[in-house]
């Protein structure tokens, strides 16, 4: 179910479009130059064009805390915390099974990075709530903990953001986990390798976003007070 919903993501559709366009260009180049590439229509090109780059909006800790603490549904709150406190992607949260939970460590099988597995470290308080949720639900070892689809999860996150008047997306919470850790003094290597589980430090630096003038002045005052 999760995989079906994830297949509707715009990035997934764009990838499929690119693959198809490349395939038809190959056929045209090697077989018949008169063949028209059906992906070259202006409508499709506009529909699947790459989004322009932009600076990410970084959520402050008090805003994220408000969103989480005002979420009464235990399942939804746990999902938000795993993204905001553990730096997990929404797809990773949805695929999480009972057997993958080991105290404060969560095992990710076949992660996005392509590695065989990865480990997510979560705070003790989140770990306790997660295990209690599993116990109350009576879930078996191979069952998914959050058996909802990607579309439903995204909508849950969007609604949760409304309590703080924020247009919230799942990746905003993962980005917050990295930014908060960095600005709390965690070394870049920890943010990159442990929280985001990324191989390239430059990729991590892009996640950390742009520092506002207000935040810059606050940090300077804290450093030299």
Residue 56 lies in a domain: no
Q: Which of 180, 157, 213, 167 is nearest to 61 (CA)?
A: 180
Same domain flag for 43 and 68: no
- The reported pLDDT for the residue numbered 32 is 77
118 beta partners: 108
Number of domains in the chain: 2
Same domain flag for 110 and 154: yes
How far is Cα 157 from Cα 64, in angstroms, rounded to an integer? 12
Same domain flag for 27 and 68: no
217 beta partners: none
Same domain flag for 84 and 40: no
Same domain flag for 98 and 170: yes
Which residues of the chain, if any, have pLDDT below 70? 1-11, 45-46, 48-57, 113-114, 201-203, 205-216, 218-219, 222-223, 225
Same domain flag for 198 and 121: yes
Same domain flag for 104 and 34: no
Same domain flag for 39 and 144: no
How far is Cα 173 from Cα 82, in angstroms, rounded to an integer? 9
Same domain flag for 142 and 89: yes
Could you list the residue range(s) of the whole structural domain that residue 38 is in? 2-47
- The reported pLDDT for the residue numbered 39 is 79
CATH number at residue 216: 1.10.443.10
Same domain flag for 39 and 90: no
Residue 8 lies in a domain: yes
- The reported pLDDT for the residue numbered 154 is 96
- The reported pLDDT for the residue numbered 3 is 44
Residue 37 lies in a domain: yes
Same domain flag for 15 and 71: no
Same domain flag for 41 and 118: no
Reduced 3-state DSSP string for the chain: CHHHHHCCCHHHHHHHHHHHHHHHHHHHHHCCCCCCCHHHCHHHHHHCCCCCCCCCCCCCHHHHHHHHHCCCCHHHHHHHHHHHCCCCCHHHHHHCEHHHEECCEEEEECCCCCCCEEEEECCHHHHHHHHHHHHHHCCCCCCECCCCCHHHHHHHHHHHHHCCCCCCCHHHHHHHHHHHHHHCCCCHHHHHHHHCCCCCHHHHHHHCCCCCHHHHHHHHHHHHC
- The reported pLDDT for the residue numbered 87 is 94
């Amino acid at each position: 179910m999760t995989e079906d919903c994830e297949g509707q993501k715009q990035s997934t559709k764009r990838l499929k479009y690119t693959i198809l366009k490349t395939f038809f260009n190959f056929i045209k180049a090697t077989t018949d130059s008169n063949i028209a590439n059906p992906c070259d229509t202006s409508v499709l090109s506009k529909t699947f064009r790459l989004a322009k780059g932009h600076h990410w909006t970084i959520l402050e800790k008090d805003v994220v805390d408000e969103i989480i603490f005002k979420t009464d549904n235990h399942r939804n709150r746990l999902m938000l915390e795993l993204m905001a406190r553990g730096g997990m992607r929404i797809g990773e949260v949805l695929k999480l099974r009972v057997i993958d939970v080991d105290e404060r460590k969560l095992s990710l099988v076949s992660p996005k990075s392509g590695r065989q597995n990865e480990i997510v470290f979560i705070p003790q308080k989140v770990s306790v709530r997660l295990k209690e949720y599993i116990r109350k639900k009576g879930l078996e070892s191979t069952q998914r903990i959050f058996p909802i689809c990607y579309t439903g999860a995204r909508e849950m996150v969007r609604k949760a953001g409304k309590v703080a008047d924020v247009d919230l997306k799942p990746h905003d919470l993962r980005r917050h986990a990295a930014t908060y850790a960095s600005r709390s003094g965690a070394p870049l290597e920890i943010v990159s390798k442990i929280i985001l589980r990324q191989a390239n430090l430059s990729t991590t630096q892009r996640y950390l976003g742009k520092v506002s003038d207000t935040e810059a002045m606050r940090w300077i005052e804290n450093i030299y007070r």
